[in-house]
A and B are shown apart, each in its own frame.
Chain A
Amino acid sequence: MLIQADFSTLKETRWYQVAVRFCLGGLVTASTGLIAKKYGPAIGGLFLAFPAILPASATLIEKHERERKERAGLNGSVRARKAVGLDAAGAAMGSVGLFVFAWVICKLAPTHQPYLVIAAATVCWMIVSLLIWDLRKRM
């Protein structure tokens, strides 16, 4: 299946669902700063790879997929669970990119322009994640 952007899914997203994800993301980021301040950067750094998006997104995907199938008069529970499973499998592949992102910053930030290193690490995350996803698709 080709990669497609479907903007109609945004219409199914309610404002409170966006608010929940905004608050969760804000809470995790603010907490990471506080933890790093209290326990040091080695402990605080762990929370930079905290699964902040996955639980909220999984709930949304499950709800949307079930509703779509039920509108068509079908039981959408199985399809909804499979969609969440696929989403989580994608996140597992993306976590390899996340590892590379952290590795690039760890190795290059002290000796190069840090903001450029963060930008380069983000590009590396995207490329590695895409390569892993493509490799998995071909298998």
Chain B
Amino acid sequence: MTEILIRFLIGGVSVSFFALLGDIFKPKSFAGLFGAAPSVALATLALTVSKEGAHYAAIEAKSMMVAAVAFLIYASCVSWMMMRHTRGALMVATSFLSVWTAVAFGLWYVILK
């Protein structure tokens, strides 16, 4: 339970920090870089290395590589949709999470399983 709480706090701080950096900087395309910051990974990997070891972290990082490709497709879809259609940001950004899930798990199954 303590470990989950520590992960929650470190993850919350890390994500909030990068999100604030994204708020501060201009132009928006540059600020968007922080939307793809390794915020969850930084919080998780440091704890993983100390608890499970570097080899375990390397396995996680290998999967993270295919998930980053899924992120690229997800963010491109969100950008395209927001530029060309009239749907709200929350609806577009959350509904396309299904694309991230499908691509991430699909690539993992095809390449890494």
Partner-B contacts on A (CB < 8 A): 1, 3-7, 9-10, 13, 18, 21-30, 32-34, 36, 40-62, 77, 80-99, 101-103, 105-107, 109-110, 114-115, 117-118, 121-122, 125, 129-130, 133, 136-137
Chain B contacts for A13, CB-based, 8 A: 20, 23
Chain A contacts for B16, CB-based, 8 A: 18, 21-22, 25
Bound: A122/B52 CA distance, A:
21
The answer to whether A6 and B90 have CB atoms under 8 Å apart is: no
In the complex where A22-B15, A46-B67 touch, is A86 in contact with B28 (Cβ < 8 A)? Answer: yes
Extra inter-chain contacts (10) besides given A25-B39, A55-B94, A87-B32, CB under 8 Å: A29-B43, A33-B48, A46-B63, A50-B100, A84-B82, A84-B89, A95-B68, A98-B71, A114-B49, A114-B54
Interface of B is mostly: helix
The answer to whether B13 and A22 have CB atoms under 8 Å apart is: yes
Chain B contacts for A36, CB-based, 8 A: 48, 60
- Residue in A9, A27, A94, A106 whose beta carbon sits within 8 Å of that of B65 in the complex: A106
The answer to whether B37 and A26 have CB atoms under 8 Å apart is: no
Q: Which residue of B lies closest to A27 (CB)?
A: B8
The answer to whether A41 and B56 have CB atoms under 8 Å apart is: yes
Bound: A50/B9 CA distance, A:
17
Please tell me the number of chain B residues within 8 Å of chain A, measured between CB atoms.
87
The answer to whether B59 and A46 have CB atoms under 8 Å apart is: no
Bound: A61/B20 CA distance, A:
12
The answer to whether A29 and B78 have CB atoms under 8 Å apart is: no
Interface of A is mostly: helix
Q: Which residue of B lies closest to A111 (CB)?
A: B54
- In the A-B complex, list the 5 residue pairs whose CB atoms are closest, starting with the nearest: A90-B32, A29-B11, A25-B15, A94-B36, A45-B63
Bound: A26/B6 CA distance, A:
9
Say how far B9's CB is from chain A's closest CB, in angstroms: 7
Bound: A44/B58 CA distance, A:
12
In the complex where A3-B30, A22-B13, A26-B8 touch, is A88 in contact with B35 (Cβ < 8 A)? Answer: yes
The answer to whether A26 and B9 have CB atoms under 8 Å apart is: yes
The answer to whether B82 and A45 have CB atoms under 8 Å apart is: no
In the complex where A45-B63, A115-B46 touch, is A102 in contact with B26 (Cβ < 8 A)? Answer: no
Residue pairs across A and B with Cβ atoms less than 8 A apart, 9 shown, are: A22-B12, A32-B7, A47-B67, A60-B23, A86-B32, A95-B71, A106-B65, A109-B49, A133-B30
